[in-house]
A and B are shown apart, each in its own frame.
Chain A
Amino acid sequence: MKIGTQSKEIDKVFGPHQALLILKNAGFEAVDFSLENEERLKKDDSELLVFFEDIKKYADEIGIEIGQTHAPFYNRENQMNRFDEIVKLQINAIKATAFLGCKYIVIHPLQSEGRIYDLELEETKKLNMKYYSALIPALLEYDVYCAIENMFARDPEKRIWCPTTCTTAEEMVDFIDSLGERFVACLDIGHINLIHQKEYPHVSFEHMINTLDYRLKVLHVHDNNGKDDQHLPPFAGNIDWSAVVKALKKIGYAGNLSIEADTFITYIKPEQFEKAENVIYAYAKRLYDMF
């Protein structure tokens, strides 16, 4: 198990190479590499290969593992209007993941227009099967696994976070098992902490981790106050991390401990990125030591 974090915010300021170096200097041994920059994904195949292999080469040189990548994600309207274009971009994100020497890409499930709680459950499944199935040839060709992440949505009437596509482990398992061997789970710890509806008691750390079990290959580790998706470092919110670690240990989780708390980095002066990443690393280390 390695301790990892996102490259996203530092990459936006200094580019990918400097981002990796800063993270490595701060103590991290793995990175969740952001593929959210569409312009990079719009390159043709040969340019894509050169661009991302160069990053891989640099990561190898400085001794940091690209443990997982994060594909671009879109709001409901965008994803429906640009469906074919988005599939194409995700295929390129899969290629980029492979060129980076990375095994896992996180691609959010789609949420249909009306998908809150269990409304439009079947329609959403159909839509997602179409979406993810279109990616299978690329996943097979480039030997990459697609990690489906647990999500949340906004209840516009009650103005609270509520369940949506893949909020429950049961729906994630349904998707993953239906789609086959190229699909695994990414558990976003912070997202679980945002669901409090009494009909969803199974959206709990213990139940979700137990249910996902061997399918769980990557994590998005972050904390919040149970109300806002704050993406804070672990222990800066109210998550019971002992319960999380206990459940992960029980299923023999063998992946990385990858932090997704880059909101924290958006507050920081660029010249202090390394020191701030040191702070995130220190929180992650406390969690790592609990394993």
Chain B
Amino acid sequence: MKIGAQSAVIDRVYGPEKALSIVRSAGFETIDFSLESETRLYLHSTALKKYFENIKKHAEDIGMELAQTHAPFYNPDKHMENNDEIIETQKRAIAATGHMGSKYIVIHPMKTKERMYNDDYERTKELNLKYYTALIPTLKEYGVYLAVENMFTWDSTLKCICPTSCTTAEEMVEYIDELGEMFVACLDTGHVNLIHQEGFEHVNFPHMIRTLGNRIKILHVHDNDGIKDLHLPPFAGNIEWVEVMDELKKIGYLGHISLEADNYMTYVKPEQFENAEKYMYSTAKRLYDMIIE
């Protein structure tokens, strides 16, 4: 088990190689590499390979593992309107993941505009199975596993965050098991902490972790106040981390502790990125020590 962080915010300022170096200097040994830049993904296939292989080489040189990537994600309207184009983008993101020698890519499940709570459940499932199935040949070609993440959406009537596609572990398991061996789970700790509706009491850490079991291969570790998706470092919100780490230990989780708290990095002066990442590393280390003990 290694301690990881995102490259996203530093990459936007300094580019991918310097981002990896800064994160590595702060103590992290693994990275959740952001593939949010579509410009990079639309490089010609030879250039794409070269571009991401260079990043891989730099990561190897500095002793940083590129353990997981994050594919671009879209709002429901954009996704429905541009589905074919988005599938092409995600295939390229899978190829980039393969070129970087990374095993896991997180691709969010789609949600229709109507998909709140259990409304539009079947249609969402049909759309997602179609979407994810279209990616299987590419996943196989590059030896990459697709991690389905637990999500949330916004209830504009009640003005609160509410369940949607794959908010529950049960729906995630349904997708993963139907889609087959190239699909695994990414548990987003912060997202679990945002769901409080009656009828969704099973969206809690012990139940989600036990239900997903060994399908959980990667994590998005961040904290919040239970109301807003703040993407704060662990302990800067109200998540009961002892419980989370205990449950992960119980299922024998073998993946990394990968932070997804880059919202904090958007507050930081670029010249202080390394110091700020050191502080983030410190918070992750406290979690790591809980699971390793």
Q: Footprint of B on A, CB under 8 Å?
A: 223, 225, 230, 232-238, 264, 266-269, 272, 275-276, 279, 282-283, 285-286, 289
Q: Hey, which chain B residues are within 8 Å of A275, CB to CB? A: 267
* Stretch from B31-39, B142-150, B269-277 at the A interface: B269-277
Contact B238 A269 (CB under 8 A): no
By secondary structure, the A interface counts as mixed
Please give the distance in Å from B227's CB to the nearest CB on chain A: 12
Choose one: A235, A266, A267; the contact of B283 (CB below 8 Å). Answer: A235
Contact B268 A279 (CB under 8 A): no
What does the 1/0 interface line of B260-272 toward A look like (CB < 8 Å)? 0000101111001
Contact B233 A268 (CB under 8 A): no
Contact B237 A225 (CB under 8 A): no
Chain B residue at minimal CB-CB distance from A261: B279
Choose one: B237, B267, B282, B289; the contact of A269 (CB below 8 Å). Answer: B267
Contact B286 A235 (CB under 8 A): yes
Contact A276 B236 (CB under 8 A): no
* Extra pairs beyond A235-B236, A283-B236 (11, CB < 8 Å): A225-B282, A236-B286, A237-B282, A237-B286, A266-B272, A268-B269, A268-B272, A279-B233, A279-B267, A286-B235, A286-B236
Chain B residue at minimal CB-CB distance from A287: B235
Please give the distance in Å from A259's CB to the nearest CB on chain B: 12
What does the 1/0 interface line of B208-240 toward A look like (CB < 8 Å)? 000000000000000101000000111111100
Query: How many residue pairs at the A-B interface have CB separations less than 8 Å?
Result: 64
Q: Hey, which chain B residues are within 8 Å of A223, CB to CB? A: 282
Contact A236 B235 (CB under 8 A): yes
In the bound complex, how far is the Cα of B280 from the Cα of A236, in angstroms?
Answer: 8
Q: Hey, which chain A residues are within 8 Å of B279, CB to CB? A: 230, 232, 236, 264, 267
In the bound complex, how far is the Cα of B269 from the Cα of A143, in angstroms?
Answer: 42
Q: Footprint of A on B, CB under 8 Å?
A: 223, 225, 232-238, 264, 266-269, 272, 275-276, 279, 282-283, 285-286, 289
Q: Hey, which chain A residues are within 8 Å of B235, CB to CB? A: 234-236, 283, 286
Q: Hey, which chain A residues are within 8 Å of B269, CB to CB? A: 267-269
Chain A residue at minimal CB-CB distance from B223: A282
> A-B pairs with the 8 shortest C-beta distances?
A235-B235, A272-B267, A267-B272, A282-B236, A267-B276, A236-B282, A236-B283, A276-B267
Contact B236 A233 (CB under 8 A): yes
Please give the distance in Å from A237's CB to the nearest CB on chain B: 6
Q: Hey, which chain B residues are within 8 Å of A282, CB to CB? A: 223, 225, 232, 236-237
Please give the distance in Å from B153's CB to the nearest CB on chain A: 24
Contact A279 B282 (CB under 8 A): no
In the bound complex, how far is the Cα of B276 from the Cα of A264, in angstroms?
Answer: 8
Chain B residue at minimal CB-CB distance from A223: B282
Contact B233 A236 (CB under 8 A): yes
In the bound complex, how far is the Cα of B293 from the Cα of A110, in angstroms?
Answer: 41
**Known interface pairs A238-B286, A282-B225, A286-B235; A267-B275 also in contact (CB < 8 Å):** yes
Contact B289 A238 (CB under 8 A): yes
In the bound complex, how far is the Cα of B236 from the Cα of A290, in angstroms?
Answer: 14
Q: Hey, which chain B residues are within 8 Å of A230, CB to CB? A: 279, 282
In the bound complex, how far is the Cα of B289 from the Cα of A275, in angstroms?
Answer: 28
In the bound complex, how far is the Cα of B231 from the Cα of A275, in angstroms?
Answer: 12
Give 20 pairs: A residue, B residue, CB < 8 Å, sorted on A: A234-B235, A236-B235, A236-B282, A236-B283, A238-B289, A266-B272, A267-B275, A267-B276, A267-B279, A268-B268, A268-B272, A272-B266, A272-B268, A275-B267, A276-B264, A279-B233, A279-B264, A282-B223, A282-B236, A283-B235
Contact A286 B238 (CB under 8 A): yes
In the bound complex, how far is the Cα of B7 from the Cα of A228, in angstroms?
Answer: 26
Please give the distance in Å from B155's CB to the nearest CB on chain A: 24
Contact A269 B236 (CB under 8 A): no
Contact A279 B236 (CB under 8 A): yes
In the bound complex, how far is the Cα of B239 from the Cα of A285, in angstroms?
Answer: 12
In the bound complex, how far is the Cα of B223 from the Cα of A107, in angstroms?
Answer: 36
